[in-house]
Each structure stands twice: as C-alpha cells, then as structure tokens.
Amino acid sequence: MYEKEKDLISAFLRGEVDRRGMLKGLGAAGLAAGTAGTLFNMVSTQALAADFDWKAHSGKSLKLLLNKHPYADAMIANLQAFKDLTGIEVTYDVFPEDVYFDKVTAALSSGSAEYDAFMTGAYMTWTYGPAGWITDLNEWIKDPTKTNPQYAWDDFLPGVKNSCAWNGQPGGALGSEDAKQWCIPWGYEQNNLSYNQEMFDKAGVAVPKNLDELSAAAAKLTKDVGGGVYGIGVRGSRSWATIHPGFLSGYANFGQKDLNVSADGKLSAAMNTAESKAFHTKWVSMIQESGPKDWSTYTWYQVGTDLGAGASAMIYDADILGYFMNGGDNKMAGKLAYAPFAANPAASAPTPNIWIWSLAMSNFAKDKDATWYFLQWASGLEHAIFGATKMDFVNPVRASVWKDEIFRERLNKSYPGYVEMHDISAPGAKIHFTAQPLFFDVTTEWAATLQKMVAKQVPVDEGLDQLVESIDRQLKEAGLG
Amino acid sequence: MASTATLRKPASGFRISRKMLPYVLSLPALLVCIGILIPFFTAVIYSFQRYRLSQPWARQFNWGENYLNFVTDPAFWNTLKVSLLYAGITVTLELLLGLGIALLLQRRSTINNFISIMLLLPLMIAPALAALMWKLMTNPSFGILSYLASLVGLHDFRWASSPDTALLTVVLVDIWVYTPFIMILLLAGLRSLPTQPFEAAALDGVPRSFVFFRITLPMLTPYILTATLFRLLDSIQQFDIIYAMTQGGPGNTLTVFQVEAYLNFFQSTNVGRSAALLIILWAITYTLSNVFIKNWLRLRERARGEA
Amino acid sequence: MDTTSPLERILRAVALTLVVVFFMFPIFWIFLMSFQTNETILSIPPSIVFSPTLSNYAALITGKLQTAAGTLDIAFMRNLGNSIFLSVTSVAVALVLGVPAAYAFARHKFKGSEDIAFTLLSFRFAPPLLVLLPLTQYFQWLGLSNTYFGLIWVYQLICLPLILWIVRGYFEDISADVEYAYRIAGHSWFATFRKIALPLAGPGIAAAGLLAFIFAWNNFVFALVLASADKQPVTVGALAFITSSGIQYGQIASAIVLSVTPTLALALYAQRYLVEGLSLGAVKG
C-alpha cells in the first residue's frame, strides 16, 4: 500500500524531486493532505534513520530550559517525532521571556545539572562560554559517528552560523579558524523596515532608501498621517536591546564599530569618531522629531504593539516583529509590508545586525551524547521545514528552507515582500558587535547615553566622548583594555 | 509578680522553667532564619573578591577594591542619591497619606470597613504586573491616563519616559501600591487605642487639634514607627516598579541600588561589584533600622513607665 | 465623637471620594480590560465602550490559548494553585513560629532578647539578590532546590520578620495584669497565652498575617531561581502573556483579577479581626 507514494517521497528526500513536485505527485495519486503528511513523516523518519543509529540513546531522558517563544512552541508541537525517532524521553521547563535569562543565569551559575540543553542568544554565550557553562559543539558536529550524515552543517547560513562561533578571546573575530561553536543557530532576526502600506500611501511617502530619507519619510508620516500616528518606531529602553536592532544595523552600514581591537588584543571604545557622531546626531534628531513620545521606555513589545495597532507607520527593527504584527488579532494584520534597508547611501547592500535564538548544551549535562541527539534533531532540516511551513518558525537559519517553494509561497501570500527583503539583506547579515564579555555593560551604558541625548541632557559630541571614556575605564578595570 | 504566678500548680502539661520559656518560644523562629546567614556571609566574601562569572580564571581576593572603586565612581554616588531620594519621598508621602486615610476611616462602620479592605487591592497585585498596567495606562496612544491628561490640557506629559517626570511617575505608582500597607497598619493601631483619654478630652472640651497632636499621635507613634520601618526597608530596596517602568532610565535617572545590582549580577555577571553594592545597601538599612528600633524601644519603655 | 459639623462631614466625604477614585480607578480599568480583546484594549484613543468577552478567562481557566499559530498550553491555574499553597503554608509556619516568639519578646526581658529580635528583623534587610547565588548553590548541595519545602523555608524571610515585629507591638500594648490574674487563678502559661493574649492581639495577628500573605503572594524571585516551571507562582505565570508576538494585555488583566481573588477573599474574611478590632480600652494599662 502506498508504495508508489513512498517512492516519490523517498525521491524527494534524496533530492531528486522538489517539494512541490512531490506534493503534486501525491495529490495526483489521490492522497488526502493529512495522509500525505503522515506518510511524509513516516518516510522521512525512515530516511533520517537510514544511515545513522538514532536509537543509540534510547531509554535515556533529557530536560530542556525553554523561552516562551514561537520557536519553542513549534519544537514542542513536533517533539513526539523526536521521541519516536530516538526513544529518548524529553521534558522541558518553559519560562516567560521577561525572566528567561535570569533563570538561565541562575541555573548555570549554580552549576545545576537539571537542564541538559537550553535556548540562548549568541551575545549571552560571550558570558556563558568563558564561564565554562556551555560546551564547544564542534566536538559533536565534526564527529561522523555522532552526527547523522544528512545533518548538512554547510546548509546553515554562513553569517548566522559564524556569529555563534567565537574563540573566547576578547575581541576575537566571530567564526574564526579556532572558534568554538558555543551554540547552534535555531531561528534568527534581521533588522529592516516593516511599514504600514496604507499610511505610506496616505502620506504619499515612498519607501526610504537611506538614513536621510528615513528621517524625512518619518517626519512626513508624523505630520501627514494624522490621528497621533508617529513616523518611526525604534527601541529606546535603558538596555542592550536598544542598541542591537536597527540602531547597530544602521551604524554598521556606515562602517562604524563599537570597539577597536589593537594588534596586541587590547580593546578600546570606538564610538567617538566623526562618522559615529554624525550618525548619532541624525538618529537622535529622528527620534526627537518622529519617534514615539515615550521612546525611552520602548522595548520590543512597545515597538511591535504600536505598529500592530496602527499607532506607528513604520519600524526599523526585527523583521519577525513586523511578521508577527501582520497576523494574529492585530488591527493592522494584513496591511504591513517589508523592505530591506541600507542606512548609508554609499553602501552597496544592507548590513543588518542579527539576533539569533540558538540552542546550547549545558556543560553540566548528564549525558552529552544524548543531548547532542536532541540538538541535531531540533536544528535539523526536517524540523526546520516543519516549523517553517506549519508553525511560525521564521526566520529559518538553513539555506534549503529558504529555497523551499512551499515556504516561500506561504510567506509571499501573507507577508508580501518578506522573502525578497530576506534575500537581499541576508548576505550582509551577521553580528556586528565585538565579541567580549563586557557586552552588556557597554550596550547598557550606550543606551543610557542615547537616552540622555534624546532628552537633551547632553549634546551628542560630549555624550559620546563621555561614553568612550567610561567604557575605556571599565575595559581596563576588567583587564581587557 | 513572678512568684505569684506559681502559687498553684498549672492544670496540665509539662513544665518549662520560667527562665527557659522565652528562649523556648523564640528560638525556633531564630533557628529557621539562621540558615540564611550562611549564604549571607558567602555574599560578604564575594564582595571582597574580583569575581566576574565571565572571567573565572581572574577570580581572586581584591579586598576592599570593589568598595574603593565606588568612591571615585559617579554612577555609585548617583545610585546612593537616587535611592535615598526615592525612599525619602515615597515613605514620607505614603505615611502622610496613609495616616490621613486611616483617620478618615477610623470610625467603625460597615462602609468604612468595606472601603478599607477594597483599598488593599493595589497591594494585592504583584508590583511588576501593576507597573506593567501603569505603563499601558500612561502610554501616549492607548493609555487612559494620558488621554485624561490630554483632556485637561496636558498634551505632552511624558510620564516615565522623560527625565523630568520619571521619578514623579514611579513615586506615583509606589504610592498607589504601598500606601494601603501603611493605612491598614495605622487603622488597626488607631482602632486599638484606649477610649478613655478621648472621652475625657471630649468632656473637657479640649480642641480637636490638641487631641490629635497630644493624644492620638503620641499613642500611635509605635505603630507609625513599625509601619514606616517596614516601608522604608522595602522602599530603599525598590526594584519591581522601577525596573518594569523604566529599567533605571531615562539616562541614569532611576538607577537605584537594586536596579544597579540586578544589572551587575544578571547581565554583566559582575558578582563582586553586585555584592559590594548590596552590602552597602544592607549597611544602610541596618543603620536605619537600628535608629528606628532604638526609638521604638524607648517609646515603649516610656509608655510602660507612664502606665 | 458626633460633634462633626456638616461642613466637616462634606469635606471628609470629598476627601474619601478622592482617595477611593485614586486607588480604585486603575483597579476598575484593569477589571474592564479583563473583558476585552487585545484589539479593543489597544484602540486609539482608549474607549470605555466595548463588547465584553469572556475569552481571556476561558483561556486562563481551560489552559488553552488560541493564537494565530495554533493552540498553546498555558499553566495558569497550576500557577494559581502553587501561589495558594506556598503563601498559605508559609504564613501558617511563620505564624506558628513568629507569634510565640513575639509574645516572648513582649512579655519577657531576657538576656539577649533585643539582640535576637533585631537579628530576626535584620533578615529583612538582606536584599534577596544578595543571597541568591550562594543560596542556589547551597540548596543544590542540600537537595532542597526545586522542592516546596525549600521554598517555604526561604519564604520565611519575607513572612517571619513582618509577623514577629507587628505582633510584638500588639502584645506590648496589652496590659500584663489580666494575664497575671488569669494565671493566679491556676491556669498554665499556655492556657493564658491561648485564652487571653492571643484573642487580645487578634487584630494585630490578622493584620500581620494578611500582610505577610500578600508579600509572599507577590514574591517571585525565589521561586523563579530555586524551582522549576511546575512550581512557579502566579506572578511568574502572568508574565507568560508578555510574548514575543505581543503583550496579551487582556489575559494579563484577567490573570490579575483571578490572582487577586483569593487574597481579597481572605481579607474580607479577616476583616472582622482586622478592622473591627477589639475594644482594648478596658484592658489597657
């Protein structure tokens, strides 16, 4: 029964038929979508199992620490497939995003063996790695006896993959030869423009192409849309989260850096160059003129809420924030559009800084080999396709998912312009920060300085000089400067 | 008096010597809490170390360096100033307001009793969630309070997002959450005051202001001291409301001790600095409590002497 | 006391009204929000007119949250159960330990009594953050991490000093003469404590117990750090509605309403002790 169909699916899995061809073939064979799905899972499980002993750790159990996030939701929805495939029992603790990293720090700093693997961001591994809380995953990735031959580590987008790899030296280049793979990328966010098409039409504004145009467009939108709508939403709270999205993406596009690394590996602050001062000046006046009134309290949530509820016309922030706001019970659902953004008119392409939700292995894990089984399954192609086509697992980190016709079609249908935006900005997408353990000190103080500039408590030039002085002192104090 | 208590044998139970009794009564409480002293001393040790979780190899005793660094660190002095200012303003206002409300509700009636319980509601909401709701209510687009403010002409009032009004806004939320704490303690105190002095004063036609300042207030002072002490201890350690509303911003407007220590610990993982900050905070609360308790005991002694 | 002039009565009424409006308006607004969808909550400008929905409560109580991406499980009712269990047990333990100790400090001046009392108070000085890292480590060695027992122990830091010092004040206000008289009549100290001292200090014990309950209820850092997801209180649970795809204000509002209900019920029950009080005039020194 279903032999022909199984052959077709196997052909797909071998890469001989594309996904669309396979589904068409299955449809022609008169298979209901549900049956096709079941069949697909069955055969793909067999395919995964073909050259690799997935049952090697059968009977063991793992515990995960997860953030309440659509990525975690998608994984949980598919978790039974992993249990069936490996015979490993998996339990998990989900904590709210608001307190998630506090929980991670508390669990790891006490050396707790409770959790074997957990979700993290790449920036956090700059602390966790040197602290000895997480494991270099190269040991497993590069071991053919422990990693299934179809895992295709090369399939991961290079900018994203390398952003999770660091040699542990303060200032060491991400993705260098001697880098340790502290975590496996899972899903990621680029920072680009998400905007309200209706409001753009109403105010007669074209999609801005650089920072000056962005400022001008934001000002015009603030003036002409009416109803208290403001032009540009960006984050502004006293936190690292204010620096890393649109702000650093634009900053990096002008070739500016957070820190300088000298030949002998010493770090020093680099925010008071003439170009940096010019960028800061434009950014600050853009917020003053067309940003949210209570910008200094703006986090991810307020930026998104305002766009979704029609209080703002545009955001320069994570693309998936714009993605989320185009669905659900948001008032503006279905009215949003997307565009890649290069702040520097002289730049050839956008250089978005990225946030990467990743999976890391605790150094205190009870059974690291079994834990790796989970990590490679959760970051494998099968699960990525499942998440991207059936759940909100966007943006996927594997090139082959972005080539998947069904995924592209699904995005094009409900999120016009999203795929194109991704394709244009993905080549330049990576972490543009300098990897070093004082990341949070530097960015928090940077955000506080921006707040002072926007509130006109300090002029931009002076503020940046003070910031550089203070950061340099802290770097020296920590033995890095 | 002690001898009169042993005139007759008690009816039941085994006997504990009179001398031992208070120890037997108080030691369990002490024993339960004493366990916490061990982590406390561990934290004191951390504060004398160069201890960043992200640089485990560099961990070593640097003795007073964490503390010495504070002397030249303007951020620390700002923290000290803001913390004391915040605690001073909130506790003073809450005390006045709480006392006022308690006096308004002093009379025993069903409606007063009901109101006094309903006024406890703000206290029952976790401060972090209360702050989240206040943040929504003061949002310029969706916030009812911003809307109401605009109706009376305050179109550009920026609540927690402007350095000029951020302190005012968090103080307002603090007052909303914690005034009921003082109110209920003082109300219970007021209602347990003896009635004779007031009846006598009323018979003699003593002016009401005189009654309040010379009878009510002195008799209420022990309650005021306890309520203020607990409020002060919490207020100088305030975290939830400030962090949820502004994360310590804008700029460094609201970087109180706990916010600084939290960021140092959880984000920078600079355990040494975080512990040193908190030890200083502990020393401040210790000193303040000492002053309060001394006064409290003196008042108690005097009250007993007069009786 | 009925000497108030009409003018004063009006002023008092106005003042009381202002107080009630200030403290109750946000509560009222949260209550309204709990019957609204996120879309109506986030309307510009805010509006008081809306068609009420029970969907927020339904999601919390059934534990199924409908989102654009499908149905998600939420554990709010379990969080609520944890909060009730942790707060009730902690306050009960604190009362059993704290009230006798408070009585001892109030009635007996013994060697080191003030030192012990102050030490007990000083546990309240230590910011939780200070002891958090060592505490998690020691709890792990002792096998207490992720146990209700361990949490209830740590919660004593919140409850015990409060109960001890507030109740002590009340005991000190009660004249010792009545107790002596009762003891001379041949009753044990325990009978005296139970029949005379406890009832007289009733309002204080009720007030302290209720406040300790509220503070235990509102705490979340201890459970967050020391226990896994299945033992988290409602304060942590409610934060789950701050999701990366948006803040679910309606659900947070209904979570607040649900989480306040047990405390409010307790307060209304304790009211007769709390604010009725006892006329202590007759027995005061």
Q: Report in angstroms the alpha-carbon separations of A88 from A57, A58, A80.
A: 6, 5, 10
- Exposed, middle or buried: residue C142 (CB in 10 Å: 0-12, 13-18, 19+)? exposed
pLDDT band at B3 (very low <50, low <70, confident <90, very high): very low
Task: Locate A442 and state its tokens.
Answer: 């530097």
CB A275 within 8 A of CB A338: no
CB A61 within 8 A of CB A88: yes
User: Which chain B residues touch C46 with a CB distance below 8 Å?
Assistant: 142-144, 147
Q: Which of A297, A437, A440 sits opposite B160 (nearest CB)?
A: A297
Dihedral sign (CA C275, B292, C213, C218): positive
* pLDDT score recorded for residue A16: 58
Q: Please state the φ and ψ torsions of residue C56, each to the nearest 5 degrees.
A: -65, -45
Mean pLDDT of A262-289: 96
Q: Which of A99, A300, A325 sits opposite C236 (nearest CB)?
A: A99
pLDDT band at A2 (very low <50, low <70, confident <90, very high): low
Model confidence pLDDT, tens digit, residues B283-294: 999 999 889 888
Task: Locate C285 and state its tokens.
Answer: 């020194």
pLDDT band at C282 (very low <50, low <70, confident <90, very high): very low
* pLDDT score recorded for residue B8: 42
Q: DSSP 3-state assignment of C243?
A: strand
B20 in a structural domain? no
Helix (H) or strand (E) holding B59: none
Instruction: Look over chain A and give the mean of its residue pLDDT values, rounded to a whole number.
Output: 91
CA-nearest of A126, A148, A442 to A268 is A442
B167 in a structural domain? yes
Mean pLDDT of B167-172: 96
Instruction: Please state, for a pLDDT cut of 70, what percent of chain C lies above it.
Output: 92
Contact A294 B250 (CB under 8 A): no
pTM attached to this predicted model: 0.90
Per DSSP, helices labelled H in B8-143 are 21-34, 37-47, 65-71, 74-104, 110-118, 121-124, 127-137
Helix (H) or strand (E) holding C9: helix C6-33
CB B277 within 8 A of CB B264: yes
Task: Locate A191 and state its tokens.
Answer: 């920072």
Mean pLDDT of A13-38: 55
Query: How far is B259 from A260, CA to CA, in rounded Å?
Result: 29
Interface test with C, best of B18, B108, B113, B120 (most C CBs within 10 A): B120
User: Which chain A residues touch B49 with a CB distance below 8 Å?
Assistant: none
CA-nearest of A154, A96, A54 to A374 is A54
Q: Report in angstroms the alpha-carbon separations of C80 from A69, A85, B26, B242, C228.
A: 22, 36, 33, 25, 15
Query: How far is B231 from B221, CA to CA, in rounded Å?
Result: 15
Q: Is the pLDDT of residue B5 over 70?
A: no
User: Which chain C residues touch B13 with a CB distance below 8 Å?
Assistant: 188, 190
B244 in a structural domain? yes
Q: Please state the φ and ψ torsions of residue B182, each to the nearest 5 degrees.
A: -70, -40
- The ipTM value here is 0.89
CB-facing half-sphere around the CA of C59: CA atoms within 13 A = 25
CB-facing half-sphere around the CA of C203: CA atoms within 13 A = 22
B11 in a structural domain? no
Taking domain C76-283, whether its CATH number is 3.30.700.30 is answered by no
Which residues lie below 8 Å from residue A186, measured CB to CB, with a gap of 6+?
A71, A119, A356, A357, A358, A359, A378, A379, A397
- Exposed, middle or buried: residue B1 (CB in 10 Å: 0-12, 13-18, 19+)? exposed
Contact A103 C244 (CB under 8 A): no
Which residues lie below 8 Å from residue C43, measured CB to CB, with a gap of 6+?
A309, A331, B142
Mean pLDDT of B242-263: 94
Which residues 48-77 in chain B show a CB within 8 A of chain C?
none
CA-nearest of A244, A253, A270 to A214 is A253
* pLDDT score recorded for residue C53: 92
Model confidence pLDDT, tens digit, residues C45-98: 888 888 999 999 999 998 877 665 556 677 899 999 999 999 999 999 999 999
Q: Please give, rounded to a whole number of angstroms, the shortest distance from the CA of B160 to a CA of chain C.
A: 17
Helix (H) or strand (E) holding B15: none
CB A266 within 8 A of CB A170: no
Which residues lie below 8 Å from residue C185, measured CB to CB, with a gap of 6+?
none
B253 alpha carbon, distance to own chain's centre: 21
CB A401 within 8 A of CB A381: yes
Query: How far is A411 from A144, CA to CA, in rounded Å?
Result: 35
Task: Locate B49 and state its tokens.
Answer: 């170390």
Mean pLDDT of C219-245: 91
* pLDDT score recorded for residue B37: 81
Query: How far is B83 from A431, CA to CA, in rounded Å?
Result: 36
Residues listed for chain A: 481
Residue with structure tokens 């996927």? A396
Task: Locate A216 and state its tokens.
Answer: 């001008």
B148 in a structural domain? yes
Query: Which is more confident, A250 or B289?
Result: A250
Instruction: Look over chain C and give the mean of its residue pLDDT values, rounded to a whole number.
Output: 87
CB A45 within 8 A of CB A77: no
Task: Locate C171 and state its tokens.
Answer: 């005991």
Model confidence pLDDT, tens digit, residues B232-252: 999 999 999 999 999 998 999
Q: Write out B261-299 in H/E/C secondary structure.
A: HHHHHHHCCEHHHHHHHHHHHHHHHHHHHHHHHHHHHHH
Task: Locate A234 and state its tokens.
Answer: 């960006």
Parallel/antiparallel/unpaired status of strands C64-67 and B60-61: unpaired
Q: Is the pLDDT of residue A173 over 50?
A: yes
* pLDDT score recorded for residue B50: 94
Model confidence pLDDT, tens digit, residues A195-228: 999 999 999 999 999 999 999 999 999 999 998 9
How many domains does the structure of chain B reveal?
1
Contact C124 B233 (CB under 8 A): yes
CA-nearest of C89, C105, C83, C61 to C197 is C105
CA-nearest of B175, B194, B193 to B98 is B175
Q: Report in angstroms the alpha-carbon separations of A285 from A236, A350, C93.
A: 13, 22, 58
B14 in a structural domain? no
Query: How far is A162 from A158, CA to CA, in rounded Å?
Result: 6
Q: Is the pLDDT of residue B13 over 90?
A: no
Q: ω into residue C45 within 30 of 0, thus cis?
A: yes
Q: Is the pLDDT of residue B10 over 50?
A: no
Query: How far is B143 from C51, CA to CA, in rounded Å?
Result: 19
Instruction: Please state, for a pLDDT cut of 90, what percent of chain C lies above it.
Output: 48
Query: Which is more confident, B76 or B11?
Result: B76
Question: Which domains can be identified in chain A, with CATH numbers?
Answer: 3-49 (no CATH), 50-188+356-428 (3.40.190.10), 190-353+435-477 (3.40.190.10)
Which amino acid type is present at position A33? A
In chain C, what are the domain boundaries?
Answer: 6-73, 76-283
CA-nearest of C133, C108, C111, C283 to C221 is C133
B300 in a structural domain? yes
Per DSSP, helices labelled H in C174-220 are 176-184, 189-192, 198-200, 202-218
* pLDDT score recorded for residue A4: 61
Model confidence pLDDT, tens digit, residues C2-46: 556 889 889 999 999 999 999 999 999 999 999 999 889 998 888
Helix (H) or strand (E) holding A116: none
CB B245 within 8 A of CB B225: no
Model confidence pLDDT, tens digit, residues B87-110: 999 999 999 999 999 999 988 888
Q: DSSP 3-state assignment of C206?
A: helix
Which residues lie below 8 Å from residue C217, measured CB to CB, with a gap of 6+?
B124, B126, C83, C87, C233, C234, C235, C259, C263
User: Which chain B residues touch A240 with a CB distance below 8 Å?
Assistant: 267
* pLDDT score recorded for residue A418: 96
Tell me which chains share at least 3 CB pairs under 8 Å with chain A: B, C
Angle of the A439-454 helix axis to the A274-290 helix axis, nearest 10 = 60
User: Which chain A residues touch C232 with a CB distance below 8 Å?
Assistant: 95
Mean pLDDT of B40-45: 92
Query: How far is B259 from C285, CA to CA, in rounded Å?
Result: 47
Query: Domain span at residue B147?
Result: 64-306
Contact C137 A329 (CB under 8 A): no
Which CATH number covers residue B176? 1.10.3720.10
DSSP state for residue B52 in the 8-state scheme: B
Query: How far is B238 from B259, CA to CA, in rounded Å?
Result: 8
Mean pLDDT of B215-226: 89
Residues listed for chain C: 285
Parallel/antiparallel/unpaired status of strands A165-166 and A180-181: antiparallel
What are A's interface residues with B at a Cβ cutoff of 8 A? 101-102, 105, 109, 126-127, 130-132, 228, 237-240, 292-297, 302, 306, 309, 311, 437-438, 440-441, 444, 447-449, 451-452, 454-455, 457, 477-479
Parallel/antiparallel/unpaired status of strands A314-318 and A184-196: antiparallel
User: Which chain B residues touch A448 with a CB distance below 8 Å?
Assistant: 248-252
Angle of the A405-414 helix axis to the A418-425 helix axis, nearest 10 = 120
Q: Is the pLDDT of residue A18 over 70?
A: no
